[in-house]
Copies of this chain bind each other. A is one copy, B any other.
Amino acid sequence: MAVEKRREREIEEMKELILTTASEIIATEGLDKLSIRKIANKIEYSPSIIYHYFKDKDEIIGNVMQRGYKKILSAVSSAKMEQETPIDRVKQMTKNYIRAALHMPEEFMAVQLNQSEIALKHTASLFKGASKEKPALTALYQCLQEMYAGHDVSEDKLEMTGQMIVVATLGLIFKLIIEKDIDEEQRERLIDFYTEDIVLRIAKGTHNDNYIESLS
């Protein structure tokens, strides 16, 4: 019986070894340079063995992505408590999200572009009612609800607004990742302009103009 526990642990360790090795390759050489044989070489096993621990390459990629993405999500949610007003929380969350994504560009792009089941569990969704299920959206949605508490704004519009912030942020991150040779100063200016200004423009739109004034 004790032996079974050890085996289980060994299996977990082997999976871990494969995943971290894959992670290393992705980080240093890029996702497109990741191959089963390259992983096998690094861990000094034959390529075949990998298929005893993972169904296929996609499952490995999926797992690596999931891990990376969890880090990003935790970076976002850590902002929830730090800031006082919902507006500041939205700002902070967005900023954290962008920073975290730019720290793991390969993983981030892969998770977002991969429509595999494992990825869909973690990425934001545009489906109606998604705000209540997707972790990336719930926090944002709650902030918006706080902002407009007591004001006559339909739940529908509120959700769409949240989705638009997510979508716009994704677009900015994508562009910043793709255009990697953009100079540091311009990059910072854009991130700042986006988080300090654009996000608010989007968020503050969901109401009558008087309420805009009261928020600024």
A14 interface residue, CB < 8 Å from B?
Answer: no
In whole angstroms, what is the CA distance A113 to B114 when docked? 13
Q: How many residues of A contact B (CB 8 A)?
A: 44
Q: Taking CB as reference atom, which chain B residue is nearest A164?
A: B198
Chain B residues with CB below 8 A from A202, complex form:
198, 201-202
In whole angstroms, what is the CA distance A190 to B165 when docked? 12
Please pick, from B127, B178, B200, B201, the residue contacting A113 in the complex, using a CB distance under 8 A. B178
Please pick, from B112, B161, B168, B200, the residue contacting A178 in the complex, using a CB distance under 8 A. B112
Q: How far is the CB of A178 from chain B (nearest CB, A)?
A: 6
Question: With A126-B186, A164-B194, A171-B172 as given contacts, are A180 and B115 in contact (CB-CB < 8 Å)?
Answer: yes
In whole angstroms, what is the CA distance A205 to B212 when docked? 12
Chain B residues with CB below 8 A from A186, complex form:
126-128
Which residues of A, 148-199, contact B by the 8 Å Cβ criterion? 157, 160-161, 163-164, 167-172, 174-176, 178-180, 182, 186-187, 189-190, 193-194, 197-198
A sample of 13 inter-chain contacts (CB < 8 A) reads A113-B178, A126-B176, A127-B186, A163-B190, A164-B172, A164-B193, A167-B172, A171-B171, A171-B172, A171-B174, A174-B174, A198-B202, A201-B202
Interface residues of A (CB under 8 A from B): 109, 112-113, 115, 124-128, 157, 160-161, 163-164, 167-172, 174-176, 178-180, 182, 186-187, 189-190, 193-194, 197-198, 200-202, 204-205, 209, 212-213, 216
**Given A160-B190, A164-B193: 16 more A-B contacts, CB < 8 Å:** A113-B178, A115-B180, A125-B179, A126-B179, A126-B182, A126-B190, A163-B190, A164-B172, A167-B175, A171-B171, A171-B174, A197-B205, A198-B205, A201-B201, A209-B212, A209-B213
